[in-house]
């Protein structure tokens, strides 16, 4: 046989120097020639293979049917593996499988018929190529998950992020549809929370059935994923007995399903299902990436959920510092605006209040606590409630501020110093307008706009509250005639910075109030807020809380 092979190819020594394994089979399917490279690739000595059937190089599962296929190929040159390099497993001498790239050729020596044809196979180790392909696939999956995470960062809360998760996953990982299931802790089951489908890939039957379903741990694809806490693949949904929605999958033309858990520590936040219309294998690399991604997404969603809870608490606490509605003061229009600074995760220290008093007067208070957070809110609440209590005793505005100052000094013994600026008015409406007494503690002076338009800052500045005991505060008498407007505000108005760092300043406020005809109280606070918003548009500087209170007689 060796002489027959040498007659076909003129340079057998060249073959023996090749790094690729070359195997020649005779018409009986036995090894007629093999070069030394087979030892490196499959662990066999060439001499041990000569005369043995080709099946010695194949895994057992591929040996069945080899004989008929080999004979047909040898005679016709046609076969499933002909025409391209094909990746198949080969059997190593020690029993393990080796991935190879296989190329086949059929040689009929001159003057011989098909019975004399030889089959030549070139085997090349595909391990390095497969490793590179897997590394590339993993990098592609990781890049896709990174884009998923980037998309989630734009979501305002955890619920919106869950909804954004589905379309982004499908688009980035090339799946046709996705559903999400979230735990019902009281019932101990997973309940359907939403679906997303690619254009033209509707899953109406799955959606309709999911609305009626819930899954226990270990039940169905979502429940199995919940139980295992790792990605689970049902490669053929139509025949998979564990998939409880087989009829719906058939109706929608969905063949392969994959689910992975979204986890934060040991807590399950949800299970995401991905569906494909094609019957597709799912590589281990994708499962590994999704297992990691499920935990990363879980951490992100858990943080969003915690931030949402903090934001809700901050909003509730902030509302407690402000009157839910402004009361109706005889002969006076009232309007107010409050805009929190920053991202709303910390409650601010701005507060205002309007309160009827037993003697027919009205308390009007606006205050600003240094700092943010729970301690600042607590200080603002202390100032507001102390002012209310002091005003009901018939005190003047200076005495009200003095009472607040004393309360803050006492409170400072138990914690850090937090000074407060405040402006306190006591109003007494009468037939021609309103008489007022005003006292200021380190706060911006109110602006009085006369009926004819000119604006004037009023009041005598004093020391902030909570700085020194026994501080005395001056009082000023004001008359607010019909058509006039008094505007009280916090420094979030005048200290608002534009993109270049320039402040809105008192001049900006006076320009807004003096311009145009007289406005209602509501129009006044709206104009001030709009002007400040325009001033700090696209500004990188941190925003402070803003409070404006307008009284129009």
Task: Provide the domain limits for residue 434.
Answer: 323-552
Q: How far apart are CA 262 and CA 48, in angstroms?
A: 54
Are 337 and 258 within one domain?
no
Are 253 and 374 within one domain?
no
Residue 329 DSSP code: B
Residue 318 lies in a domain: no
Which pair of structure tokens corresponds to residue 393? Answer: 């005793």
**How far from each other are the two terminal CA atoms of the chain, in whole angstroms?**
117
| Whether the predicted pLDDT of 115 surpasses 60 | no
Are 174 and 116 within one domain?
no
Q: How far apart are CA 447 and CA 226, in angstroms?
A: 63
Residue 60 lies in a domain: yes
Residue 133 lies in a domain: no
Residue 117 lies in a domain: yes
Query: Which of 253, 286, 312 represents a domain boundary (last residue)?
Result: 312
Report, as an integer, the average pLDDT of 370-380. Answer: 77
Query: Which of 125, 153, 174 represents a domain boundary (last residue)?
Result: 125
Beta-carbon contacts of residue 265 (< 8 Å; ≥ 6 apart): none
Q: How far apart are CA 447 and CA 549, in angstroms?
A: 11
pLDDT in tens, 232-268: 999 999 999 999 999 999 999 999 999 999 998 889 9
Q: Taken in order 328, 329, 331, 336, is the CA torsion positive or negative?
A: negative
Q: How many domains is the chain partitioned into structurally?
A: 3
Q: What does the mean pLDDT of the chain come to?
A: 84
Q: Which of 552, 435, 443 is nearest to 491 (CA)?
A: 443
Q: What is the CATH number of the domain that holds 290?
A: 3.30.450.40
Residue 317 lies in a domain: no
Q: Which of 103, 114, 14 is nearest to 71 (CA)?
A: 114
| Whether the predicted pLDDT of 389 surpasses 60 | yes
Phi, then psi, of 302 in degrees rounded to 5: -65, -40
Residue 130 lies in a domain: no
Which pair of structure tokens corresponds to residue 87? Answer: 């990746």
Residues 121 and 102 sit within 8 Å (Cβ to Cβ) = yes
More confidently predicted of 82 and 402? 402
130-to-22, 62, 87, 485 alpha-carbon distances in Å:
21, 20, 10, 79
Q: What share of the chain in percent tops pLDDT 90? A: 46
Whose structure tokens read 């490196």?
40
Sheet with strand 267-276: strands edge to edge: 214-215, 189-197, 177-184, 267-276, 256-264, 232-234
Are 294 and 148 within one domain?
yes
Query: Which of 285, 312, 339 represents a domain boundary (last residue)?
Result: 312
pLDDT in tens, 182-217: 999 899 999 999 888 888 889 999 999 999 999 999
pLDDT in tens, 263-293: 988 899 999 999 999 998 888 888 888 888 8
Are 427 and 532 within one domain?
yes
What is the value of pTM for the model shown? 0.53
Are 269 and 383 within one domain?
no
Residue-by-residue DSSP string for 226-262: HHHTS-EEES-TTT-TT-TTHHHHHHHT--EEEEEEE
Which pair of structure tokens corresponds to residue 186? Answer: 């009281």
Are 198 and 287 within one domain?
yes
Q: What is the CATH number of the domain that holds 330?
A: 3.60.40.10
Whose structure tokens read 């706009």?
449
Q: How far apart are CA 222 and CA 214, in angstroms?
A: 9
Pairing of β 31-34 and β 476-481: unpaired
Which pair of structure tokens corresponds to residue 415? Answer: 């914690």
pLDDT in tens, 301-329: 777 676 666 666 666 666 667 888 899 99
Q: How far apart are CA 142 and CA 159, in angstroms?
A: 24
Are 382 and 485 within one domain?
yes
Residue 65 lies in a domain: yes
Q: What SS3 class is residue 317?
A: helix
Are 165 and 274 within one domain?
yes
């Amino acid at each position: 046989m060796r002489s027959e092979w040498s007659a076909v190819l003129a340079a057998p020594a060249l073959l023996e120097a090749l790094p690729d394994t070359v195997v020649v089979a005779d018409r009986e399917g036995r090894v007629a020639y093999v070069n030394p490279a087979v030892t490196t690739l499959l662990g066999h000595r060439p001499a041990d293979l000569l005369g043995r059937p080709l099946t010695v190089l194949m895994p057992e599962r591929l040996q069945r049917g080899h004989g008929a296929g080999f004979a047909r190929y040898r005679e016709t040159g046609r076969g499933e593996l002909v025409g391209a390099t094909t990746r198949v497993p080969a059997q190593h001498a020690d029993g393990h499988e080796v991935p190879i790239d296989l190329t086949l050729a059929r040689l009929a020596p001159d003057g011989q018929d098909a019975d004399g044809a030889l089959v030549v196979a070139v085997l090349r180790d595909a391990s390095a190529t497969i490793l590179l392909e897997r590394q590339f696939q993993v990098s592609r999956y990781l890049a896709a998950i990174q884009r998923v995470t980037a998309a989630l960062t734009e979501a305002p809360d955890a619920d919106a992020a869950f909804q954004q998760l589905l379309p982004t996953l499908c688009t980035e990982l090339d799946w046709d549809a996705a559903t999400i299931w979230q735990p019902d802790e009281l019932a101990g089951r997973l309940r359907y929370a939403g679906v997303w489908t690619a254009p033209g890939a509707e899953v109406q039957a799955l959606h309709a059935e999911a609305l009626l379903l819930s899954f226990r741990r270990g039940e169905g694809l979502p429940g199995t994923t919940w139980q295992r806490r790792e990605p689970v693949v049902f490669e053929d949904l139509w025949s998979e007995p564990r998939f409880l929605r087989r009829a719906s999958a058939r109706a929608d033309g969905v063949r392969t399903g994959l689910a992975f858990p979204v986890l934060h520590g040991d807590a399950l936040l949800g299970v995401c299902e991905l569906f494909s219309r094609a019957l597709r294998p799912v590589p281990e690399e994708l499962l590994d990436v999704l297992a990691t991604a499920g935990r990363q997404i879980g951490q992100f969603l858990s943080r969003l959920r915690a931030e949402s809870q903090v934001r809700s608490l901050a909003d509730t606490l902030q509302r407690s510092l402000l009157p839910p509605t402004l009361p109706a003061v005889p002969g006076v229009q009232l309007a107010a605006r409050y805009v929190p600074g920053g991202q709303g995760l910390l409650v601010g220290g701005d507060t205002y209040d309007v309160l009827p008093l037993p003697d027919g007067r009205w308390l009007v208070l606006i205050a600003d606590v240094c700092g943010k957070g729970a301690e600042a809110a607590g200080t603002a609440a202390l100032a507001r409630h102390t002012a209310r209590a002091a005003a009901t005793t018939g005190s003047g505005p200076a005495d009200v501020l003095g009472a607040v100052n004393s309360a803050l000094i006492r409170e400072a013994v138990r914690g850090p110093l937090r000074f407060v600026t405040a402006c306190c008015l006591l109003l007494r409406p009468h037939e021609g307008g309103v008489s007022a007494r005003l006292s200021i503690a380190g706060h911006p002076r109110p602006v009085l706009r006369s009926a004819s338009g000119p604006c004037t800052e009023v009041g005598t500045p004093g020391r902030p509250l909570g700085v020194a005991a026994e501080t005395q505060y001056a009082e000023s008498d004001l008359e607010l005639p019909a058509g006039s407007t008094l505007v009280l505000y916090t420094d979030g108005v005048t200290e608002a910075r534009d993109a270049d760092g320039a402040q809105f300043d008192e001049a900006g406020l006076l320009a807004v109030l003096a311009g145009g005809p007289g406005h209602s109280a509501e129009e006044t606070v709206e104009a001030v807020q709009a002007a400040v918003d325009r001033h700090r548009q696209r500004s990188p500087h941190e925003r402070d809380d803003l409070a404006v209170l307008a009284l129009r007689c």
